[in-house]
Structure 1
Amino acid sequence: MTRSIFTSPIGPIYLNIENGRLTGLSYESFMHSSNSETETDFLTKQLTFTQLEEYFQGTRLEFDLPWQLSEGTDFQKRVWRMLDKIPYGEVWSYQDVAQKLGDVHAVRAVGQANRKNPLPIILPCHRVIGKNGRLVGYNGHEIDKKEWLLNHELQHFHF
């Protein structure tokens, strides 16, 4: 497993890479950092750094990275995969996500899954807002990051 820190305009971003796949991205520091980097992990780390840099420069609209969802329930994984379908510069409500998953009553469960998204930015949970247009919940308590990411995308979105 490789653990790395990417410096971004919204603060440090901590990456987990296992077997050449991105398995975690977090705004919070790792508890411990055992690091045994393979060549495949190194290449994935470099690709991730490059794509994150391009995203923050406003030149990358979608990510093309090898990632893997290692943890989470089947429902959470379905939500996280659905997040990957939200286009750059577009926002969906939690209700929209629930409807696209085929369960209009799963709005709260979608919100809880969003909160536990192991790959924020890559699987863009920041693009999910309340149906009233309010920015609610992002990675627990990082509303300022959600707002920054949405403003960044709107600034660089070209119709």
Structure 2
Amino acid sequence: MSKSDTTLRKTTIAAIKRRSKKPFEWNITRFYETERPEDIGPIKMELGLQGDELPVASSISTHTDWTFVTTRRVIGKTDNVKSAININDVEKWTWGDFKGYEDQQKTMITLTTLEGREHKFVIETRNASMVMIYAIRTLLQLSRK
């Protein structure tokens, strides 16, 4: 039996909180314990949330450079090109320069499907990177149970 989207979000947010350094304040990254339209802003229309799908976390740099993790997908836009991948379809991943060794505020992560198709998404580096990494990792673990 699959878990509800509400349960997936609660479990994922708990994992993020356990692994992220406090205070939970970052430049372009946040997680969503509730869904209020003002929290998500104009990007909500581009997400096309399906059914009971809920937002979990995001890194939003600009309206053309963002990544959203939902209870079912990773959706993003980089250089005005939109990409989406179902969590269940992710086979491999690379987290880029998430520690910020290159002294950049953002890095590109790559999620690869079972068919070998690569999807690139932007995330914030350093402490904020744990939000997006653990959102994706936790949802991957939950989807494979």
Measured against the shorter chain, the TM-score band is: 0.3 to 0.5
Q: Scaled by the length of structure 2, what TM-score is found?
A: 0.32
Point out the structure with max Rg over C-alpha: 1
